[in-house]
Structure 1
Amino acid sequence: MLAAAGILAFGAVIVWMEVPDLLKNKRKKDFWVFSVLLTLGLGLAIAKSMRAEVPNPLEWIAYLYKPLSDFIFGLLESSD
């Protein structure tokens, strides 16, 4: 729980440093992208600190490209 509090404190410092400039310069799109990415990053960091199972994006990529990989390897192996 202490780790989660530290992560939130770190996130608050980042917000304190970045958000005033974004709002002052009226960069609303940048502000929303920053907010979404920071929230996602903080959420994943807190989940990892609590030893939650966080999915690995590489597994999803491998799953998507597996049929293409099998097809290409099949072409290369049968050309003997």
Structure 2
Amino acid sequence: MLKTLAILIVTAVIVLLDVPSMLKNKQKKELVVYSILLFIGVSCLIMLAVGLKIPSPVELFLYVEKPFKNILQIKV
């Protein structure tokens, strides 16, 4: 719980430092991308802090690759 709170506090400080200048300069597209990436990063950090397993991107690749490998009958 304490780790999650620390992550949220640091995130709030980062947002308070970055977002006002983006709004002032009318960088709306950049703000959307920034918000999405920040949300993904904070979500991953919180999941790690509470002990949830985050799957590796390699696992996704293997999941997608397996049907093609079976169709083409490639042996590795």
* Counterpart Cα distance in 1 of 2:9 and 2:57: 27
Give the equivalent residue in structure 2 for 1:31. Answer: 31
Give secondary structure in 1 for the equivalent of 2:53. Answer: coil
Residue 68 of structure 1 deviates from its aligned partner by: 5.6
Counterpart code for 1:9 = I
The superposition leaves residues 2-44 of structure 1 with CA deviations (integer Å, 9 ceiling, x where unpaired) of: 0001111111111011101110000101101111111111111
In the alignment, does 2:33 pair up with 1:2?
no
TM-score by length of 2: 0.80
* Counterpart Cα distance in 2 of 1:34 and 1:17: 13
CA RMSD of aligned residues (A): 2.1
Query: Highest CA radius of gyration, 1 or 2?
Result: 1
TM-score by length of 1: 0.77
Gaps of 5+ in 1: 75-80
* Counterpart Cα distance in 1 of 2:47 and 2:18: 24
Paired residues, number: 75
| Equivalence map 1:1-80=2 (5 Å) | 1-66=1-66, 71=72
> Which portions of structure 1, spanning 4 or more consecutive aligned residues, are displaced by more than 2 angstroms?
62-71
* Sequence identity percentage: 38
* Counterpart Cα distance in 2 of 1:22 and 1:69: 46
Residue 67 of structure 1 deviates from its aligned partner by: 5.5
Give the equivalent residue in structure 2 for 1:77. Answer: none
